[in-house]
Amino acid sequence: TNVKELCIPTPYGKIAAKAWGAETGKPVLAFHGWLDNCGTFDKLFPLLSKKLYIVAVDAPGCGLSSHKPLGCLYSDIDTILEYKRVVEFLGWEKFSILGHSLGGAMGLFFTSMHSEIVEKVVALDIAKVLSVPLGVFPGIIAKSINDYIKQEKKLSNLPPVYTPESAIERLLDGMHGEITREGAEILLKRGSRPSDCGKGVIFTRDLRCRPVEYLNVKNHELMFQYIKAIRSEMLLIMATNPHPNYVSNSPEMREMAYEIYRKNSKRFVLEHVEGNHFVHLNNPERVAPLVNKFLAD
């Protein structure tokens, strides 16, 4: 398979990315889930059509991408800006997006602002941009701000050092046993590095990325305004059996989002596949045919 590492310069460092396929193929930008890295697609992308040229990025502060300078915030608008930077660097005028989990939500968010340049968007096991009722909105933001400051303070300490084995265990535990041991090893290729003391490995992701999910949360009304703006063709692939911690929307909210997509997007395809939240990594053969049919045809 034709795979290469890319490095996209930013004012504070770089965005690391992995490119799959020939540059002459149909361009696709891929976003990973919360605290993961673009290794999440290592099993899926080899099964996709050779007609595609896929650039999978490590989000700021994740994988091999640079951490933000001290005192800076990680926010969704900020991440969208970084992804737009990647698009400009690649010189793409029209392209498609594929994202998993938080990366899928970011893909939908990006598309809501840039439908004119995004031809198709694929979201893996996420139905919409994250949102909460207006009443709980201030409290959730306040909690996230406190959490952010707490994580920021930890940066002055040396990061915990793990043996390669305990790093795998830590990751499996943190992901509720939803990934396989092989999946954990894949994610740790970009998600860990040898410690400076030489006695083990440390995780590469910036601790400040942890509260980012709820720090950026929208209220339902605002979220609906965003997703109503999506005109691009859409494919949502939902897993049948995700761990409750990975279910970010009630069935009612999902249905409301689906109705909006049916009404406003050029084409809306909803598929369900047997598996958990990481089915694209655990059982990529279940996901690949659906993605191929949608993106490559």
Kindly list the structural domains of the chain, giving each domain's residue range(s) and its CATH number in brackets, ordered by start: 4-134+217-296 (3.40.50.1820)
Residue of 152, 202, 175, 154 lying closest to 32 (CA atoms): 175
Query: How confident is the model at residue 297, as a pLDDT?
Result: 80
The runs of H, that is alpha helices, within 32-163 are 76-90, 102-113, 137-154
Q: Are 43 and 70 in contact (CB under 8 A)?
A: no
Cα torsion at 59, 62, 64, 70 (round to 10°)?
100
Q: How many CB atoms sit inside 10 A of residue 48's CB?
A: 24
For β-strands 233-239 and 118-124, DSSP reports them as parallel
Query: How confident is the model at residue 123, as a pLDDT?
Result: 98
Cα torsion at 208, 279, 274, 100 (round to 10°)?
50
Q: How many CB atoms sit inside 10 A of residue 70's CB?
A: 9
Q: What angle do CA 62, 294, 89 make, to 5 degrees?
A: 40
Query: How confident is the model at residue 243, as a pLDDT?
Result: 86
Query: How confident is the model at residue 1, as a pLDDT?
Result: 62
Residue of 129, 84, 106 lying closest to 227 (CA atoms): 129
DSSP class of residue 12 equals: T
Dihedral pair phi/psi, residue 233, rounded to 5°: -70, 145
Query: How confident is the model at residue 246, as a pLDDT?
Result: 84
Query: How confident is the model at residue 158, as a pLDDT?
Result: 87
DSSP class of residue 162 equals: B
d(Cα 124, Cα 69) in Å, to the nearest integer?
A: 31
Active site residues: 101
Cα torsion at 46, 55, 174, 276 (round to 10°)?
-50
Query: How confident is the model at residue 116, as a pLDDT?
Result: 97
CA distances from 191 to 3, 73, 168, 207, 290 (A): 18, 21, 11, 12, 28
What is the chain's pLDDT, residue by residue, as a tens digit (297 residues)?
699 999 999 999 999 999 999 999 999 999 999 999 999 999 999 999 999 999 999 999 999 999 999 989 899 999 999 999 999 999 999 999 999 999 999 999 999 999 999 999 999 999 998 888 888 888 988 999 999 999 999 988 889 999 999 999 999 999 999 999 999 999 999 999 999 888 899 999 999 998 877 778 888 999 999 999 999 999 999 999 998 888 877 889 999 999 999 999 999 999 999 999 999 999 999 999 999 999 998
Provide the whole-model pTM. Answer: 0.95
